[in-house]
C-alpha cells in the first residue's frame, strides 16, 4: 500500500518534471546551503585546529609588551622592554614542566639565490625551536649548539623556498643570500601547507639567533620565547610559573603589571573553533529561512495539485478510498517531493563543499549525521507543509469532486 | 439481513438543497424497493432527481429526511468512512463520462478499487485481467484511456466496477456519450453481467430502447416517482 503510494507519487512528480523542479528549488537551495556551510564549517574548524596544533600543541608564547586579549597586540601606552637573553636563560634554568624552550625573532626579508629572489619569513632561533614547534626535517640536520652559540651563517629552509630556488633539486650545501648576509643551507623543513588565514607556512628560513641578531635585526632582542609543555603539564599550570620566573628576572615589583604577555595556543584554538561554530550557526539560520520558503512552495504546489486532481480524488472516493487513503496519498507525494529536493540539495551542497575545500585547501569533512538530519528535515518539511493540502483533498465531497471539470 | 428482504429500500426519502425561498427538493418523499438481482432502469426528464437518487443508492450521498437502507443497513446515517467501506465492498459505479484516471493504463484503472481493499499486487493483476476479459477487452490492458475509444473506455469502467465482485452496479447514463452501436454493445454487456453474475443493476437513461434492456422502469418527475412498472419481455 505505502509502496504503491510512493510509486504513484513518483509518477505524478514525473508528469510535471519542470513544475516539480521549480517547486523544489527552495528546498534544494536551502538544503544545499545548509550542507555546504556545515561541511565547509567543520572543514574549517578542523583546519584551524590542525593549524593551531601545527603552531605546536601545548605551546606558550611569550612576547614583550603588556598582554591584551587573546591574539591582540600589546598595549601602546608604554615603551616596550624587549625580551633578552637573560630572560631565556632564567627560564631554561628554573622552569619545570617544559619540554622545550626556544627563542625566536622574526622578520620578512628578501632572500636571493642566483637571479631568483623571494620575500620570506626569516626566523633567528636555536636548535630547540624544531622541538618546541613540532617541526620536522625532511633532510639535513638542525643547528649544532656551537653554530647556535657562535651565530654561524647556516640555515634551514621551507619547501616554498626550495621550490623557488632549486625546483625539485637538492638544496643542501647551497649558499643563499638573506638580506646582505649569506648562509649555507643545511636542511629542509617538512612541508606544512597554508594556515587557515592563507599564510604560507613553508615560505620560511631558519637561522641561528645570533646570526639573525647580528646580521639582520641589528640588535640583541628576542621577539618571542616558545615554551612547549611536557606531556604531564597542562599549559594552564605552566603559564603562572613562566610568569613568576620572568617577573622575577625582569624585576617587576608586585604592585606593577607584567610588561610581557604569555599566549596560550590551546586557548586560541578553542576560541577559533567556537568562532567558526558561531558563524556556521548564523549561516544555518539563514538557510533555515530558505527552507521555510521551500516548505511554503511545497504547500502551494500541493494545493494546486489537489485542485487539479479533484476529479481523480472524486473517482478514488467513489470506488472506496477512505479519507485516510487520500490524505496519505498526498502526504506521501509532498514528502517524496521534498525528500527529492533534499537529496538533490545534499548532492549540490556536498559538491560545493568539495569545490570549496579544494580551492581553500581545507579538509572535505562531510558529516553523516548532518546529511541524515537534512534528509529527515526535508521529509519533515514535506509532511508538515503537505498536510494542509492533503487534508483539503481528503475532505472533498465525492459528488462535488466528481462533478468538477 | 432477512432472506427475501429488498437490497435497497427508499422510505419517504427527501433530498433538499438551499435554504428558505431558494430551497430545492431534488427528491420529495420517494418510496421504492429493489431486490437482489434486479435490473432497474430509472427514467425522467433532466433535473427530476435521478442522479440524486443514484448517489444515495450508491452510498455517495445521504438523504436530508427519510430512510435509505442498503442490505438492511441504515446507510443514510453512516459516516463518510463507513459509506466508503460499503462502496468498496458492495457497490460498483459506472458514469456517463467514464471517469477513468488519465495517463493510467486500463489494467491499473481496474486494479484501483482492489488497492483500497489491500489486495496483494499479484492477485490484483490477475483479478483485473479477469475483469477485463469479462468485458471483452483482452489485449488492451496496457492502453491508457486516451488510446481507447469511448465504448472501450466505458468497458474499462465497467471492469473496474465489477472487479471487486460487487452486489450492486450503479450506472448513471452509462451510454449517454456513446453512439447507437456502442450503446447496444454496452447494454448487452450489462445484461450479461446481470444474468450471469446475478449483479443487481440500477441504471439511469433517457432512451426508451436502453431502458428496455432492464426488467423494470422507475420514472421520476420533479423529485417524485410517477410510475414504477415491469418491462414486457421483448427478447
Ligand atoms: N449540490 C446541489 N446543490 C443544489 N441543487 C442541486 C444539487 N444537486 C442537484 N441539485 C438540484 O436537484 C435537482 C435534481 O438534480 P439531479 O438529481 O442531478 O437531476 P437529474 O439527474 O434527474 O437530471 C435539480 O434541480 C438540481 O438542480
Ligand atoms: Mg443526472
- Per-residue pLDDT tens digits for A350-359: 999 999 888 8
User: Of A405, A313, A330, which is closest to residue B112 (Cα–Cα)?
Assistant: A313
Helix (H) or strand (E) holding B161, with range, is helix B150-162
Beta bridge partners of B39: B201
Is residue A107 within 8 A of residue A181, CB to CB? The reply is no
Nine-digit cell string for A275: 568562532
Provide mean pLDDT across the span A378-392: 93
Evaluate if residue B175 carries a pLDDT over 70.
yes
Q: Which of A41-45, A268-272, A340-344 has the highest mean pLDDT?
A: A340-344
Q: Is A98 helix (H, G, I), strand (E, B) or coil?
A: strand
Beta bridge partners of A137: A189
Taking an 8 Å cut-off on Cβ atoms, the answer to whether A325 and B60 are in contact is no
Residue B48 CA: nearest ligand 1 atom is 22
Residue B152: CB within 6 Å of ligand 1? no
Helix (H) or strand (E) holding A146, with range, is helix A145-150
Residues of A in contact with B89 (CB under 8 A): 320
- B55 C-alpha vs ligand 2 centroid, how far in Å? 10
Q: What are phi and psi of B18, to 5 degrees?
A: 80, 175
- Length of chain A as a residue count: 405
- From residue B214, give the alpha-carbon distance in Å to each of B38, B154, B231: 8, 19, 7
Residue B219: CB within 6 Å of ligand 1? no
- Of all protein residues, the one whose alpha carbon is nearest to atom 18 of ligand 1 is B51
Evaluate if residue B74 carries a pLDDT over 90.
yes
For residue A18, the distance in angstroms to the closest alpha carbon of chain B comes to 18
Evaluate if residue A203 carries a pLDDT over 80.
yes
- Length of chain B as a residue count: 235
Q: What average pLDDT does the structure give for chain B?
A: 94
- Determine how many CB atoms are found less than 10 A away from the CB of residue A97: 16
A209 or A405: which leads in pLDDT: A209
Q: Which of B81, B121, B160 sits opposite A322 (nearest CB)?
A: B81
Residue B17: CB within 6 Å of ligand 1? yes
The pLDDT, as a whole number, for residue A196 is 57
Q: What are the strands, taking DSSP E only, across B86-223? A: 91-95, 168-172, 200-204, 216-221
Evaluate if residue B3 carries a pLDDT over 70.
no
Taking an 8 Å cut-off on Cβ atoms, the answer to whether B116 and A317 are in contact is no
The pLDDT, as a whole number, for residue B233 is 65
The half-sphere exposure of A319 on its side-chain side, counting CA atoms within 13 A, is 30
Helical residues (DSSP H) of A151-227, grouped into ranges: 159-166, 209-212
Tens of pLDDT, residues A161-183? 999 999 888 899 999 999 888 99
pTM of the model: 0.71
Angle in degrees, 0-180, between the axes of helices A17-54 and A323-360, rounded to the nearest 10: 40
Helix (H) or strand (E) holding A194, with range, is none
Tens of pLDDT, residues B104-118? 999 999 999 999 998
- Of all protein residues, the one whose alpha carbon is nearest to atom 27 of ligand 1 is B47
Angle at A111 between CA A109 and CA A114, to 5 degrees: 160
Structural domains in chain B, CATH included, are: 8-230 (3.40.50.300)
- Determine how many CB atoms are found less than 10 A away from the CB of residue A15: 11
- Of all protein residues, the one whose alpha carbon is nearest to atom 13 of ligand 1 is B26
pLDDT category, B234, cuts 50, 70, 90? Answer: low
Q: What are the strands, taking DSSP E only, across A22-97? A: 59-64
Is residue B15 within 8 A of residue B64, CB to CB? The reply is yes
pLDDT category, A70, cuts 50, 70, 90? Answer: very low
Give domain limits for chain A. 2-51+270-403, 82-258
- Please tell me which residue of chain A has the smallest CA distance to B98: A315
The pLDDT, as a whole number, for residue A68 is 53
Residue B15: CB within 6 Å of ligand 1? no
Tens of pLDDT, residues A233-261? 888 899 999 999 999 999 998 888 888 98
Taking an 8 Å cut-off on Cβ atoms, the answer to whether A320 and B117 are in contact is yes
Ligand nearest to the CA of B96: 2
Residue B52: CB within 6 Å of ligand 1? yes
Pocket test for ligand 1, best of B13, B18, B26, B170 (most atoms within 8 A of CB): B26
Provide mean pLDDT across the span A293-302: 88
Cβ of residue B99 closer than 8 Å to a chain A Cβ: yes
Residue B6: CB within 6 Å of ligand 1? no
Helical residues (DSSP H) of A221-367, grouped into ranges: 235-249, 265-308, 310-318, 323-360
User: Of B96, B170, B157, B101, which is closest to residue B131 (Cα–Cα)?
Assistant: B157
User: Of B89, B27, B58, B41, which is closest to residue B225 (Cα–Cα)?
Assistant: B27
The half-sphere exposure of B62 on its side-chain side, counting CA atoms within 13 A, is 15
What percentage of chain B reaches a pLDDT higher than 90?
92
Q: What are the strands, taking DSSP E only, across B6-145? A: 8-17, 24-34, 39-43, 65-70, 73-74, 91-95
Is residue B155 within 8 A of residue B138, CB to CB? The reply is no
CA dist A110 and A175 (Å) reads 14
Place of cell 430502447: B209
- B136 C-alpha vs ligand 2 centroid, how far in Å? 28
Residue B176: CB within 6 Å of ligand 1? no
Residue of B115, B128, B144 for testing the chain A interface, max A β-carbons within 10 Å? B115
Strands B216-221 and B39-43: parallel
Least confident of A269-273, A322-326, B88-92: A269-273
Q: Which of A312, A323, A402 sits opposite B80 (nearest CB)?
A: A323
Supply the DSSP symbol for A76.
S
Evaluate if residue A67 carries a pLDDT over 70.
no
Angle in degrees, 0-180, between the axes of helices A2-15 and A323-360, rounded to the nearest 10: 60
Amino acid at each position: 500500500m505505502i509502496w504503491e503510494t510512493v510509486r504513484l507519487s513518483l509518477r505524478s512528480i514525473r508528469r510535471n518534471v519542470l513544475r516539480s523542479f521549480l517547486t523544489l528549488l527552495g528546498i534544494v537551495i536551502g538544503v544545499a546551503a545548509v550542507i555546504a556551510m556545515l561541511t565547509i564549517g567543520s572543514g574549517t574548524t578542523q583546519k584551524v585546529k590542525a593549524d593551531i596544533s601545527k603552531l605546536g600543541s601545548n605551546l606558550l608564547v611569550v612576547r614583550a609588551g603588556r598582554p591584551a586579549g587573546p591574539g591582540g597586540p600589546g598595549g601602546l601606552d608604554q615603551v616596550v622592554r624587549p625580551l633578552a637573553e637573560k630572560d631565556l636563560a632564567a627560564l631554561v634554568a628554573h622552569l619545570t614542566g617544559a619540554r622545550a624552550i626556544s627563542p625566536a625573532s622574526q622578520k620578512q626579508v628578501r632572500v636571493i639565490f642566483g637571479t631568483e629572489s623571494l620575500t620570506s619569513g626569516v626566523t633567528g632561533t636555536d636548535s630547540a625551536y624544531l622541538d618546541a614547534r613540532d617541526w620536522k626535517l625532511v633532510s639535513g640536520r638542525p643547528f649544532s649548539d656551537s653554530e647556535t652559540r657562535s651565530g654561524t651563517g647556516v640555515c634551514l629552509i621551507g619547501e616554498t623556498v626550495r621550490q623557488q630556488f632549486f625546483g625539485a633539486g637538492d638544496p643542501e650545501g647551497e649558499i643563499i643570500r638573506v638580506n646582505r648576509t649569506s648562509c649555507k643551507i643545511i636542511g629542509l623543513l617538512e612541508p606544512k601547507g597554508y594556515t587557515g588565514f592563507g599564510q604560507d607556512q613553508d615560505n620560511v628560513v631558519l637561522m641561528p639567533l645570533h646570526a639573525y641578531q647580528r646580521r639582520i635585526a641589528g640588535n640583541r632582542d628576542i621577539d618571542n620565547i616558545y615554551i612547549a609543555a611536557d606531556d604531564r603539564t597542562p599549559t594552564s599550570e605552566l603559564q603562572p610559573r613562566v610568569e613568576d620566573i620572568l617577573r622575577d628576572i625582569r624585576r617587576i615589583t608586585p604592585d606593577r603589571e607584567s610588561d610581557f604577555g604569555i599566549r596560550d595556543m590551546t586557548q586560541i584554538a578553542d576560541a577559533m573553533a567556537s568562532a567558526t561554530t558561531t558563524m556556521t550557526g548564523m549561516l544555518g539560520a539563514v538557510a533555515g529561512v530558505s527552507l521555510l520558503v521551500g516548505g511554503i512552495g511545497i504547500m502551494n504546489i500541493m494545493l494546486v495539485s489537489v485542485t487539479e486532481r479533484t476529479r481523480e480524488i472524486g473517482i478514488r472516493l467513489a470506488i472506496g478510498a477512505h479519507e485516510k487513503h487520500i490524505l496519505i496519498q498526498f502526504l506521501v507525494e509532498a514528502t517524496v517531493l521534498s525528500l527529492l529536493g533534499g537529496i538533490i540539495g545534499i548532492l549540490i551542497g556536498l559538491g560545493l563543499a568539495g569545490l570549496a575545500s579544494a580551492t581553500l585547501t581545507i579538509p572535505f569533512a562531510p558529516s553523516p549525521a548532518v546529511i541524515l538530519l537534512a534528509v529527515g528535515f526535508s521529509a519533515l518539511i514535506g509532511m508538515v507543509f503537505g498536510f494542509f493540502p492533503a487534508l483539503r483533498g481528503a475532505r472533498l465531497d465525492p459528488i462535488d469532486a466528481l462533478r468538477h471539470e | 439481513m432477512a432472506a427475501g428482504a429488498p437490497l435497497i429500500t427508499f422510505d419517504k426519502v427527501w433530498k433538499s438543497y438551499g435554504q428558505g425561498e431558494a430551497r430545492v427538493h431534488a427528491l420529495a418523499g420517494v418510496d421504492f424497493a429493489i431486490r437482489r438481482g434486479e435490473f432497474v432502469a430509472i427514467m425522467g426528464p433532466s433535473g427530476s432527481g435521478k442522479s440524486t437518487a443514484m448517489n444515495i443508492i450508491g452510498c455517495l450521498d445521504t438523504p436530508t429526511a427519510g430512510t435509505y437502507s442498503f442490505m438492511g443497513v441504515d446507510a443514510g446515517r453512516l459516516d463518510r468512512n463507513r459509506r466508503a467501506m460499503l462502496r468498496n465492498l458492495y457497490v460498483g459505479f459506472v458514469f456517463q463520462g467514464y471517469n477513468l484516471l488519465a495517463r493510467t493504463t486500463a489494467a491499473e484503472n481496474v486494479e484501483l478499487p482492489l488497492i483500497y481493499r489491500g489486495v496483494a499486487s499479484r492477485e490484483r493483476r490477475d483479478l483485473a485481467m479477469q475483469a477485463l476479459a469479462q468485458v471483452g477487452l483482452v489485449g488492451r490492458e496496457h492502453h491508457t484511456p486516451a488510446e481507447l475509444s469511448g465504448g472501450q473506455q466505458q468497458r474499462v469502467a465497467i471492469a473496474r466496477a465489477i472487479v471487486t465482485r460487487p452486489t450492486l452496479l450503479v450506472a448513471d447514463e452509462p451510454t449517454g456519450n456513446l453512439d447507437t452501436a456502442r450503446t447496444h454493445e454496452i447494454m448487452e454487456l450489462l445484461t450479461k453481467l446481470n444474468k450471469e453474475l446475478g449483479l443487481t443493476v440500477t441504471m439511469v437513461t433517457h432512451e426508451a430502447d436502453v431502458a428496455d434492456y432492464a426488467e423494470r422502469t422507475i420514472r421520476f418527475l420533479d423529485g417524485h416517482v410517477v410510475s414504477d412498472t415491469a418491462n414486457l419481455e421483448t427478447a
